[in-house]
Amino acid sequence: MNLRDKVLGYLEEHKDSYVSGEQLAELFGVSRAAVWKAIKRLQEEGHEITAVTGRGYRLSAGSDILSSAGIARYLRHGNADQIIVRSAVDSTNNVAKEMALKGAAHGTVIAAERQTSGRGRLGRSFESPEGTGIYLTIIMRPRADIEKALLITTAAAVGVCRAIRALTGQQAEIKWVNDIYIDGKKVCGILTEAITDFETGSLESVVTGIGVNFRTPEGGFSEEVRKRGICCLFDSQEPTITRNELAARIVDEVLEICENLDDKSFLREYREWSAVIGKEVRLVRGTEEKQARVLDIGDSGGLIVLTADGEQQELTSGEISVRW
């Protein structure tokens, strides 16, 4: 870990309190000039650090730049050394897949302030403006076969809902299979991609990308995105938490659930927080469309429906649309 990260980590631990340059220099075994250079770099990156002669440096409680140190401060179960934050990437999933193929460990997290080519299911674009969202991907190496890939997305949806509900009090719900909604509008999308061993049919690794609309970007979203019916956790009000805090809680919750996918107790929450059970929906599978009523969520994460012609099915792929 370089000096910049060490200084930021210490300031995060003592957020909104002054820490002297002398104290930081002694702590990390460097000169005060080196500390000053690290502080200047952090300020240039946008971290709200105040410098006062005779008192030292203070990281504002409202400073909300995504950082490895900022996320690590709130982690309960994840490994702080495996949190990687970049200012911009094409897609956190793309970066994660490259790292997974090179042997990145289970639980490695790649996050970014901005994605230039963020995407969701079916190759749809995911608008990822700088400094307003949480865009992260978790690399996992589950002991499971390819059939459990759907269950991983299901588990991730529950983890995100747990985090949002616990930290904001907002009633996040799940639209099968991979979208999180609040008050009938999409606030988060999840995309799970698998790297498989074709000989054994087992999952070598899974990358689960999570994109949360945290606060409304200046100027708002594009017209195309607005037409889709999206919202942010904090649309008009000031955030009550930081993005680092929510990112850490999401990582913790998702990894905790995915540690033992065979314990399907999390499906109780998925069903309880489902936005579609009991509703009439339109099923879309390729070029085929039909009306159906959602009955339940299966133990494998599939959607159990009763079609208009009286046939009961369990879907493991496809899309649904709901009239809210």
Whether 197 and 236 map to the same domain: the answer is yes
Whether 197 and 150 map to the same domain: the answer is yes
Q: 44: domain range?
A: 3-59
**pLDDT confidence of residue 257:** 95
How far is the C-alpha of 126 from the C-alpha of 92, rounded, in Å? 12
Q: How far is CA 94 from CA 23, 131, 208, 319, in A?
A: 40, 20, 11, 23
How far is the C-alpha of 259 from the C-alpha of 256, rounded, in Å? 5
Q: How many residues are present in the chain? A: 324
Domain containing 285 — which CATH number? 2.30.30.100
Whether 285 and 267 map to the same domain: the answer is no
Whether 105 and 246 map to the same domain: the answer is yes
Domain containing 41 — which CATH number? 1.10.10.10
Domain containing 232 — which CATH number? 3.30.930.10
**In which residue are the tokens 């400073």 written?**
63
Whether 131 and 236 map to the same domain: the answer is yes
Whether 253 and 111 map to the same domain: the answer is yes
Q: Is the pLDDT of residue 122 over 60?
A: no
Pairing mode, if any, of strands 312-315 and 319-322?
A: unpaired
Confidence class for position 284, pLDDT limits 50, 70, 90 = confident
Around Cβ 231, how many Cβ atoms within 10 Å? 18
Q: Is the pLDDT of residue 17 over 60?
A: yes
How far is the C-alpha of 250 from the C-alpha of 255, rounded, in Å? 8
158-179 pLDDT tens trace? 999 999 999 999 999 999 988 9
200-239 pLDDT tens trace? 667 789 999 999 999 987 767 767 666 677 889 998 788 9
- For residue 276, cis peptide bond before it (omega within 30 degrees of 0): no
Residue 137 phi, psi dihedral angles, 5° rounding: -135, 135
Whether 11 and 122 map to the same domain: the answer is no
The model's pTM is 0.90
22-34 pLDDT tens trace? 999 999 999 999 9
Pairing mode, if any, of strands 185-197 and 179-182?
A: antiparallel
Q: How many domains does the chain have?
A: 3
Q: How far is CA 91 from CA 20, 21, 103, 228, in A?
A: 38, 37, 19, 21
CA diameter of the chain: 78
Q: Which of 231, 253, 272 is the last residue of a domain?
A: 272
Whether 137 and 175 map to the same domain: the answer is yes
Whether 143 and 91 map to the same domain: the answer is yes
Whether 148 and 265 map to the same domain: the answer is yes
Whether 222 and 74 map to the same domain: the answer is yes
Closest CA to 209 of 102, 100, 71: 100
The overall average pLDDT reported for the chain is: 89
150 contact partners, CB below 8 Å, separation of at least 6? 177, 300, 301, 302, 316
Whether 230 and 167 map to the same domain: the answer is yes
Pseudo-torsion of CA 112, 62, 183, 176, nearest 10°? Answer: 30
Tokens at residue 143, please?
Answer: 């002991």
